[in-house]
């Protein structure tokens, strides 16, 4: 009898959003704006993928993903995309 070891996948708790921008300066401004409005709890590393910059953030439950989307779109418009 052969037993295979399986890695346990940790489930990430909480709601996350991914922010995508064209420049690192835009990303830092968005991050500062969201922290100032207490819309996010934590932010990951800024990673470059092709011509865009990506960052995964943990959303504050009181604000929600929709609230983060509205905050970013109202302030920065077409310079950022939220997924």
Q: Give residue limits of the domains in the chain.
A: 25-82
The pLDDT value recorded for residue 1 is 42
Among residues 47, 44, 45, 82, the alpha carbon closest in space to that of 63 is found at 82
β-pair type (16-21, 47-49): unpaired
The pLDDT value recorded for residue 8 is 53
The pLDDT value recorded for residue 14 is 66
Top-confidence residue, 63 or 7: 63
The 10s digit of each residue's pLDDT in 1-58 is 444 445 555 555 568 999 999 999 999 999 999 999 999 999 999 999 999 999 999 9
The pLDDT value recorded for residue 2 is 43
Rg of the chain on CA atoms, in Å: 16
**C-beta neighbour count of 23 within 10 angstroms:** 12
């Amino acid at each position: 009898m052969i037993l295979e070891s399986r890695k346990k996948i940790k489930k990430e708790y909480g709601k996350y959003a991914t922010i995508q921008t064209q420049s690192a300066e835009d990303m830092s401004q968005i991050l500062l704006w969201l922290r100032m409005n207490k819309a996010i709890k934590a932010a990951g590393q800024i990673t470059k993928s092709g011509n865009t910059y990506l960052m995964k953030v943990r959303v504050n439950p009181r604000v929600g993903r929709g609230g983060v989307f509205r905050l970013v779109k109202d302030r920065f418009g077409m310079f950022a995309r939220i997924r």
